[in-house]
Amino acid sequence: MNLILLGAPGAGKGTQAEVISEKLGIPQISTGNILREAVKNGTECGLKAKSFMESGALVPDEVVIGILKDRIAEDDCKNGYILDGFPRTVPQAEALENMGINIDKVVSIDVPDEVIQGRLSGRRVCEKCGASYHIQFNPPKKEGICDKCGGNAVQRKDDAPETVIERLRTYHEQTAPLADFYDKRGKLVRVEGQEEVKDTSKKVLAAINA
């Protein structure tokens, strides 16, 4: 099954992708995590992406599409995958179609902007595996340490309030129109994402019949 999770920054895409990945045994592909790793390693692609990410803008389509293409060609993707944070623009969605990729379902996790700042200011992300936590709503068992891999769970620089405002603006302008794009193709399911993580997971799993 090939799935897309849509939603604002902080809507819970990463959190729910982890749940689906565990349940269905298919990988979570987060372009944000791949880009952060590239920035950390100082690769050519990381150098191109860095300033966009720091300002809350999107990385140019051709860079992200290239990353995605390479990732889904890997062996662990042959039984399907969960796209978390891709596509984020109409040209990215069109690129997927032009690659001949069939998307089974697109789940839009809907959370109002007013809730997002609190979600992102308390977010902690594992430096090693990218798992997402919240100091209040979804804390790791041991403070600052990832439950899954023992890596350090740290705050992301772009979760600073002023960058979050810019990321939300970018989202409404460039990514939100994708809901309509996939609705027209009969793929969209909307899930209200304000309940607790486990209740939202139930709704997300029901939406994909898992």
Q: How far is the CB of 18 from ligand ADP (least distance, A)?
A: 8
Specify the 3-state DSSP secondary structure of 176.
coil
Residue in the structure block whose two tokens are 């595996």: 129
Among the listed ranges 39-47, 80-88, 104-112, 189-197, the one in contact with ligand AMP (CB under 6 A) is 80-88
Does 58 contact ligand AMP by CB under 6 A?
yes
Q: Is 156 a catalytic site residue?
A: yes
Q: Is 119 a catalytic site residue?
A: no
| Residue 134 binding result from ligand AMP, ligand ADP, none, given CB thresholds of 5 to 8 Å by partner type | ligand ADP
Q: If you write DSSP's letter for every residue of 26-91 in order, what string do you get?
A: --EEEHHHHHHHHHHHT-HHHHHHHHHHHHTPPPPHHHHHHHHHHHHTSGGGTT-EEEES---SHH
Contacts 24+ apart (CB under 8 A), 132-135: 132/14, 132/15, 132/18
CA atoms of 124 and 135, how far apart (whole Å): 7
CB 96 within 8 A of CB 87: yes
Q: Which of 36, 71, 105, 123 is catalytic?
A: 123
Does 145 contact ligand ADP by CB under 6 A?
no
| Residue 167 binding result from ligand ADP, ligand AMP, none, given CB thresholds of 5 to 8 Å by partner type | ligand AMP
DSSP at 206: H
CB 203 within 8 A of CB 21: no
Q: Which of 50, 156, 187, 190 is catalytic?
A: 156
Q: How far is the CB of 51 from ligand ADP (least distance, A)?
A: 20
Residue in the structure block whose two tokens are 């803008």: 57
Q: How far is the CB of 98 from ligand ADP (least distance, A)?
A: 26
Q: 106-125: which residues touch ligand ADP (CB under 6 A)?
A: 119, 122-123
Q: Which is nearer to ligand AMP, 66 or 202 (CB)?
A: 66
Does 33 contact ligand ADP by CB under 6 A?
no
Q: How far is CA 129 from the centre of its chain?
A: 14
CA nearest neighbour of 190 among 181, 203, 199: 203
Q: Which is nearer to ligand ADP, 26 or 86 (CB)?
A: 86
Residue in the structure block whose two tokens are 């309940």: 195
Point out which residues bind ligand ADP (CB under 6 A).
7, 9-15, 119, 122-123, 132-134, 137-138, 193, 195-197, 200
Q: Which residues bind ligand AMP (CB under 6 A)?
A: 9, 31-32, 35, 52-53, 56-59, 64, 85-88, 92, 167
